[in-house]
Structure 1
Amino acid sequence: MTATAAQPLVLPGDDGTHATMRLLVACPDKPGIVAAVSRFLFDAGANILRSDQYSSDPTGGAFFLRMEFTLRHDQRADFAERFGHAVAERFDIAWRLWDADRPKRIAVLVSRYDHCLLDLLYRWKRGDLGGEIALVASNHADLRTPVEAAGVPYHHVPVARDDKPAAEARLLELLGAADLDMVVLARYMQILSGTFLERLGVPVINIHHSFLPAFAGAGPYERAKARGVKLIGATAHYVTEELDEGPIIEQDVIRVTHRDSAAELTRLGADIERVVFSRAVQWHCEDRVLVHGSTTVVF
């Protein structure tokens, strides 16, 4: 018997003829939603790779669904339109569809603290972020060198205390020209106005250096030390006009003691901030987060 080299196993979609798609669904819960979505995908020639669902209450609650599937490129032309007519209208579904082969384009806003920014750049370079960092903008010039060393454009947009609208207008000009899918605040120490958020028109994720709702606003580590807490944490949330009140995506904590100074709390907290922030950004990039009022469903 002559030994022959093993042939690679080629699965459907490996030949470049298929795209991986993600479908997110939110609607009033009622029987038949999963069956209708699955049947539509089957009839469309799709192959379901992953399916996650959650109901807040099976009798009168809200229903959430995330499906990941492959679909031939030549079957995508009117897929969204057909799904809207055949399924979404029938079940009063709010939904979105995303091509997983197209990374989301991200803009990072940052001030002087570099730990969250550098962590995002590192994960992006490794291919772990799930998105593409298109630009970094800052109200300070301090972090230009590491950002440009990573091959990312850096924009210095100063914020004058007596003319903040001018800075926001300049930011909107930069961000609007970049064809973005999301903006993340990697310790950007400026409050964004409701007008700015409305005109921006894409989701914004912030990292706050406390376990919200505790110690919202400025100086949370100093206030945590004064209060004598035994746990400190970080919170990643979507930004709304109300400061630190947006829907929470991810949180984590670390134990501390009376021996830890405010400076030590800040140092320990930076590690938690990095991890929590990167998880939230990655989960959003992978379409795992659905907003439901003031909270989120994360698959």
Structure 2
Amino acid sequence: MSHAYILTLSCPDRPGIVHAVSGFLFERGGNIEEAAQYNDRDTGLFFMRVRFACEALGTQELKTQLAQLATGLQMSWRLHEAAQPMRTVIMVSREGHCLNDLLFRWKSGLLPLDIRAIVSNHRDFYQLAASYNVPFHHIPVSAATKAQAEARQYEIVEAEGAELVVLARYMQILSDELCRKLEGRAINIHHSFLPSFKGAKPYYQAHDRGVKLIGATAHYVTADLDEGPIIEQDVARVNHSKTVEDLTTLGRDTESLVLARAVKWHSEHRVLLNGHKTVIFK
């Protein structure tokens, strides 16, 4: 039976990269099932995602031989087994709409995840976690205990082998150190359009400014608050008659949809980092 893989890569652009990659796979009995590429003229970088089947070589053999190909092309690359769900830890505080949505989609087979743990600074959702048979870790956070709390959080992430950490309305600012440790594998949902309306109570800020569109932004976590590479955004139209409560209710639906899309694309290895931006092969 053929084994399916997903190869993602980026390198300085030059003629012949697609030929080199496809030729490499052909010579090893690989059959390309899906392929997409993008040349960023601004940065001079080339990006590619290839899903292929191969029965002649195992994962480790492919990785060893890909490393040789990558050297000549100055290529950054990753090889993933397509059938392997992504090990994930979800962090949440006291608003559970995004958490509930992700858990439902996961159990419905709509997200290729393996949710290993839920971490929260409150106890509100331990019963929800139990209903999905997911371990729940209550780690209180205060100014005095923040460093110890983050050390415990990171310990859980590493113990579970998490490839993805989702901040599903986790209302604590991560330290620069933890942001660096989770670089490229932590996704946050922000309940407005970044960089507008940062920080607390963005719907109050939006209502005060009389906005006509509200939105949500899913982005990678960086040490710069709410300024990480953007993965997905969406909007909902509003008017002068909407209250703050109306905006909040509508916004929660938008947040859940935007976060679910971002998590899906990341878990399918469709998102490649391009400096402070992303390349997404949908």
Normalising by structure 2, what TM-score?
0.96
* Partner residue in 2 for 1:239: 221
Structure 1 residue 71 displacement after superposition: 1.1
* Partner residue in 2 for 1:184: 166
* Partner residue in 1 for 2:201: 219
Secondary structure at 1:133 match in 2: strand
Q: What is the root-mean-square deviation in Å for CA atoms of aligned residues?
A: 1.4
* Partner residue in 1 for 2:249: 267
* Partner residue in 2 for 1:7: none
> Are residues 63 and 74 of structure 1, via their aligned partners in 2, closer, same or farther at CA, if it must alter by over 3 Å?
closer
Structure 1 residue 26 and structure 2 residue 10: aligned?
A: yes
Alignment of 1:1-299 (within 5 A): 17-57=1-41, 61-72=44-55, 74-85=57-68, 87-200=69-182, 203-299=185-281
More moved, 18-27 vs 168-177: 168-177
Deviations 1:159-218 (A, max 9, x none): 123221111112122222111111000000000111123345661000000011211222
Counterparts of 2:43 and 2:275, CA distance in 1: 16
> Are residues 267 and 136 of structure 1, via their aligned partners in 2, closer, same or farther at CA, if it must alter by over 3 Å?
same
Counterparts of 1:52 and 1:74, CA distance in 2: 23
Secondary structure at 1:179 match in 2: coil
Unpaired runs of at least 5, structure 2: none
Structure 1 residue 228 displacement after superposition: 0.6
Tell me if structure 1 keeps the 8 A contact 2:33–2:53.
yes
Amino acid at match of 1:40: F
Higher-Rg structure is: 1
More moved, 114-123 vs 162-171: 162-171
The size of the alignment, in residue pairs, is 281
Identity across matched positions, percent: 49
Amino acid at match of 2:15: P
Secondary structure at 1:251 match in 2: strand
Tell me if structure 1 keeps the 8 A contact 2:13–2:46.
yes
Amino acid at match of 2:236: I
> Are residues 64 and 199 of structure 1, via their aligned partners in 2, closer, same or farther at CA, if it must alter by over 3 Å?
closer
> Are residues 150 and 75 of structure 1, via their aligned partners in 2, closer, same or farther at CA, if it must alter by over 3 Å?
closer
Unpaired runs of at least 5, structure 1: 1-16
> Are residues 74 and 26 of structure 1, via their aligned partners in 2, closer, same or farther at CA, if it must alter by over 3 Å?
closer
Counterparts of 1:80 and 1:115, CA distance in 2: 39
Deviations 1:9-38 (A, max 9, x none): xxxxxxxx2211000111111100000000
Tell me if structure 1 keeps the 8 A contact 2:180–2:222.
no
Structure 1 residue 47 displacement after superposition: 0.5
Counterparts of 1:60 and 1:159, CA distance in 2: 41
> Are residues 60 and 214 of structure 1, via their aligned partners in 2, closer, same or farther at CA, if it must alter by over 3 Å?
closer
Tell me if structure 2 keeps the 8 A contact 1:29–1:60.
no
Normalising by structure 1, what TM-score?
0.91
Amino acid at match of 2:50: M
> Are residues 160 and 75 of structure 1, via their aligned partners in 2, closer, same or farther at CA, if it must alter by over 3 Å?
closer
